[in-house]
Amino acid sequence: MIVVTGYGKTYQDVTAVSGLSFTVEPGQVLGLVGPNGAGKTTTIRAITGIIPPTEGALTICGHDIVADPIKARQQLAYIPDDPQLFDLLTVYEHLMFSARVYGLNSAELEERGDRLLSRFELLDKRDTPASDLSRGMRQKVAISCAYLHEPKAILFDEPLTGLDPQAIRNLKNSIRERATAGASVMISSHLLSLVEDLCTHILILDKGRRRFFGSLQELRTEYSSAESLEEVFFQATGMTEAAVLASGEDQNTAVATPPPRVPETESGDAVEPPQ
Ligand code: ATP
């Protein structure tokens, strides 16, 4: 279970997120949506412990990510939108590395590793170094590593980036299976069709504040005049479809332009498993 209570994050003079609370129960898939700069990545990265919150508490399966980061991370997997692999390690060596980090024995590694490589069509790339993989293949290696220790909380940032249709189907099925097995899943995405297809719950963020949090059914009730999630998105964030089209952006992409980023200085120095 993921519990976020009164979370806020300020970067220098930019308040990225403020007063945010929500829960992702076991079996639930939460879609995190909002315009560019809404605070989605800032929230996901705080749950993983990559950036410390300015205020509030974030817990994974009862473990506070700041006070008890190792126990919290043992239950957690994070798949960012630009997975960082080790160029010189092969696909299988990435799985071996993850298995070591999470304390899996060799039988678990072999059984789960082969199943994941088969599911994500990586068996023939097993001994290929990451430097020789395509963008989509790298994403599939990151997902396989993330699933290996059967985490109870799984966080995705734009999970479909670079994946082909077969891989998208495999990933969607795997997310449903992990949730059915009791994982709490969070997906940050601008692809509203993906969110509608996969998620049981929705969190709409705008300018760092919660605009809606609840089940899809509650969303339909609260926005009963909206005919689609896209329309809900526009209503909740005060944007108009015309503004999006005028901006020349894809309809699934929001238009608010965030101020330029400054280099992040607050990253923890813990070594992350390959993702
Ligand atoms: P997108 O959809 O564009 O990925 P997002 O919802 O993930 O956006 P965040 O990346 O969380 O948004 O950014 C939220 C706000 O925090 C923005 O105003 C952004 O400019 C600011 N921000 C994010 N990271 C930093 C940083 N390292 N330093 C300063 N400001 C930052």
pLDDT in tens, 97-107: 999 999 999 99
Which atom of ligand 1 is the closest one to the Cα of 208?
Answer: 14
pLDDT at 215 over 70: yes
CB contact at 8 A, 18 and 263: no
Q: For residue 246, is pLDDT > 60?
A: no
- How far apart are the C-alpha atoms of 61 and 39, rounded to whole Å? 23
Angle at 197 between CA 223 and CA 218, to 5 degrees: 30
- Tell me what percent of the residues of the chain surpass a pLDDT of 90: 74
- Arch. (CATH architecture) of 2-246: 3-Layer(aba) Sandwich (3.40)
User: From CA 226, how far away is CA 224, in angstroms rounded?
Assistant: 6
Q: Which amino acid would we find at residue 64? A: D
Cα-based distances in Å from 162 to 73, 120, 165, 193: 26, 13, 10, 17
Q: What is the pLDDT of residues 87-132, one digit of tens each?
A: 999 999 999 999 999 999 999 999 999 999 999 999 999 999 999 9
What mean pLDDT comes out for the span 159-180?
92
Q: Is the pLDDT of residue 250 over 80?
A: no
Which residue's alpha carbon is at the smallest distance from atom 21 of ligand 1? 16
Residue bearing the CA closest to ligand 1, atom 17: 37
For residue 221, report the distance from its CA to the centre of ligand 1, in Å.
Answer: 30
Three state DSSP letters for 194-250: HHHHHCCEEEEEECCEEEEEEEHHHHHHHCCCCCCHHHHHHHHHCCCHHHHHHCCCC
The residue contributing the CA closest to ligand 1 atom 25 is: 261
Strand pairing class (201-206; 153-157):
unpaired
| The pLDDT value given to residue 237 | 87
Ligand 1 centroid–CA 9 distance in Å is 10
Nearest CA to ligand 1 atom 1: 36
Ligand 1 atom nearest 45 alpha carbon: 11
pLDDT averaged over the chain? 87
Q: What's residue 111's pLDDT?
A: 94
**Which pLDDT score, from 0 to 100, does residue 152 have?**
97
CA of 51 to the centre of ligand 1 (A): 12
What pLDDT, on the 0 to 100 scale, is given for residue 240? Answer: 62
- Looking from the CA of residue 190, the nearest atom of ligand 1 is 2
What number does the ligand 1 atom closest to the CA of 12 have?
Answer: 29
* 260 band by pLDDT with thresholds 50, 70 and 90: very low
